[in-house]
Amino acid sequence: MTAAPAPFQLNPEQRVRLAKLADCLISGGAGMPSASEAEVHGPWIERTVAARPDLGPVVLEAISLAGEPAAALETLKTEKRMTFEFFAFAVAGAYLINPRIRNLLGYPGPAPAKNPAFPDEAESYLEDGLLDPVINRGSIYRPTPRS
Amino acid sequence: MSPSTDRADVLIIGAGASGSVAAKHFAEQGLSVVMLEQGDWVKQSDLPGDKPEYELLAYKDWHPNPNVRRSSSDYPITTSGTVEQIGMFNGVGGSTILYASCWCRAKPSDFRVRTLDGVADDWPLSYEELEPYYNLVEREYSVSGHPDNPAYPKGYRPPLPAHPINGPGRTLAEGMNKLGWHWWPGYNSIPSRKDGHLEQCVRAGVCMFGCPHGAKASADIAILPDALKHGARLVTQARVCEVPVDDRGRATGAVYIKDGKRVFQSASVVVLAANGIGTPRLLLMSASGRHPNGLGNSSGLVGKRYMTHPFGTSVGLYEDELGDFSGPAGELVESMQFYETDASRGFVRGSKWHVIPAGPRPLFYINRWANGEGTKDEPFWGEMFAPKMKSSINHLIEIMVMPDDLPEETNRVTLDSERTDSDGLPGVKVHYVSGENTRRLVDFNLERSLEAHKAAGAYKTWITSRNNPSWHNMGTAKMGHDRETSVVNGFGRSHDVPNLYVIDGSVFPTATGVNPTATICALARRTSEYIVKNARNQEISA
């Protein structure tokens, strides 16, 4: 019987390292927090890896890189591009599932929200004659040629 | 090998878009129907779109590329040439589980490519011959759209009203009007109000990840229940490995593998609905002494002429908030301005454009910035991630340019005996290189799309991608009148095996420049009706 994979857990040192690496990727700005301020290295990376167990090894590999964080990431990007891409994806994923981040970006909720159209909503977008110029120009197709 | 219990009137291989349409019609007409599907039912509750982790989940277990999903119902696909990925979904509902539901009829000129533009082939039927079947399947697929589009002949009136075009659609439409270019509200196989088995669309915008709200017309929800209600029998996790023929050359049914055992299902008529990759795969796997190059392959064309829609995308950034968090995704608006041939452009054929809302998929913005043609050399990770995401989410419109694609025999699907599926059956190799005409077509339309963004008020525009995999697989069992240059006739019947039919996108002689599902379903419905009407004269195995 194959043993279940060990749950993804980071020790405090690993979390500190992840925070530094994540801040190299997402340092904040434009009213948005940095990755560490958004707790990417805390619960959100765990939620991310829980959804995507295949990202766990990638995160651990990135954390294990020695040296100054920015330089380590640059080396990873140069020498193991796919690993870099997946690590960046994991960090971005963890950042973007934080409901506080979604709220700052304007999303109506932590997950895609239901927003059914009102009965006349479709017409309201067209009611000032938006389609009239298209209709008035007439047909733009080539008909079936007569054989 | 275990024999099946009963001989079915019709055996359908594949429970996707076309297989479901056919099964429903056959069953409603009183024929006994058995469907074999290598995958399983999808539980709506498993779909990721209502979960906070939806994008993370979607890009792995619900990815359109079977090489990424790697589920037991998938088979390996090795690509070469300019196509990097192939998309499909192997399960009940087929690729409609993940399709965007952009519903698009082909246009009259698509059926007369040779006659009108001097390239490729004419289809063995006309738009007018297929139109009644478009009408029928649009009712079945709860298609929503605005009537009387001048890009089509009169009479194209979808059964349900169009969805709102939302802010992005409105903004682009205003720009298109300034340019005097065609646009129209999008057509979607997503009901704008409760219809049949489907709920009203709630505009969550996660259509391409599967709809967790039961509001997208995937075949498993919209069509199959009616087929099953009328007596069709569906066997899931049944991987067909061969369609045998008798010594008179009639198909006798299919051999499938289930739970590691081979089972034979007998049938009077066999219908292949396994998509433009799966159908040629099965035909090639069914090679025998009588059909050494694959079943029904006297023309040598099975697997050849693979076509896709290698689409391009461009984006524009807008100062104002667009209200871009709503679907359908699905298309908000489309344009046929550059669809018909104008040879002065340096290519023939054309492209449909459409806008699928970008807002509901924040992770995908990274690709637009970090890998976009116009922006990949700009800083992104680090200090610019947050500002760029903030400036683009809810402020971006993406135009997708879908090009017609011309057939080349060198673009082909073949068997790959070195990489096998979970039952030991060969995977496939897909070799595809975009032709010069397609490349010029995409280039031209991308440049025009940048003009459209600017006319609509974009302050920054760039081309984000070219040569994207469209997940549209076509052309590998070409239909035509001449048995030497086609695999099936105008009703999808094999030229070589009189009780074998193909009803999926494999039969397309040309790709058209539109999403293929509408035409696939219409052809399936037409072929089904033909089979029923001609049942008395149908040659079958004894």
B158-210 pLDDT per residue, tens? 999 999 999 999 999 999 999 999 999 999 999 999 999 999 999 999 999 99
CA-closest candidate to residue B240, choices B227, B252, B257: B257
pLDDT-based confidence at B2, cuts 50/70/90?
low
Question: Which residues of chain B make contact with A30, given a CB cutoff of 8 A?
Answer: 386-387, 390-391
- Rounded mean pLDDT of B298-309? 97
Mean pLDDT of all residues belonging to chain B: 96
Distances (CA, A) of A133 to A147, B173, B311, B332: 33, 11, 28, 18
Amino acid identity of residue B415, one-letter, is: L
> For B331, how many CA atoms within 13 A lie in the half-sphere containing its CB?
29
- Decide: B129 and B149 in contact? Cβ < 8 Å: no
Strands, E assignment, B245-328:
253-258, 261-272, 311-317
Least Cα separation, residue B508 to chain A (angstroms): 18
Residue B109 pLDDT > 80: yes
Report how far Cα B68 is from the mean position of its chain's Cα atoms.
19
pLDDT-based confidence at B310, cuts 50/70/90?
very high
Question: Which residues of chain A make contact with B390, given a CB cutoff of 8 A?
Answer: 30-32, 104-105
- Rounded mean pLDDT of A117-139? 96
pLDDT-based confidence at B84, cuts 50/70/90?
confident
The confidence score (pLDDT) of residue B83 equals 86
pTM: 0.97
Residue B534 pLDDT > 90: yes
pLDDT-based confidence at B467, cuts 50/70/90?
confident
- Rounded mean pLDDT of B284-313? 96
pLDDT-based confidence at A18, cuts 50/70/90?
very high
Q: Among positive and negative, which fits the CA dihedral B107, B108, B114, B120?
A: positive
CB atoms A47 and B177 under 8 Å: no
Residue B495 pLDDT > 90: yes
Question: Which residues of chain A make contact with B164, given a CB cutoff of 8 A?
Answer: 117, 121-122, 124-125
Question: Which residues of chain B make contact with A104, given a CB cutoff of 8 A?
Answer: 390
Residue A1 pLDDT > 60: no
- Rounded mean pLDDT of B339-350? 97
Least Cα separation, residue B326 to chain A (angstroms): 7
Residue A3 pLDDT > 60: no
The confidence score (pLDDT) of residue A91 equals 98
Does the beta carbon of A138 lie under 8 angstroms from any beta carbon of chain B?
yes
Least Cα separation, residue A64 to chain B (angstroms): 20
Three-state DSSP at B407 gives coil
Residue B5 pLDDT > 90: no
Residues of chain B above pLDDT 90, percent: 96
Residue B4 pLDDT > 80: no
Least Cα separation, residue B383 to chain A (angstroms): 5
The string of pLDDT tens digits covering residues B245-265 is: 999 999 999 999 999 999 999
Does the beta carbon of A27 lie under 8 angstroms from any beta carbon of chain B?
yes
Residue B223 pLDDT > 70: yes
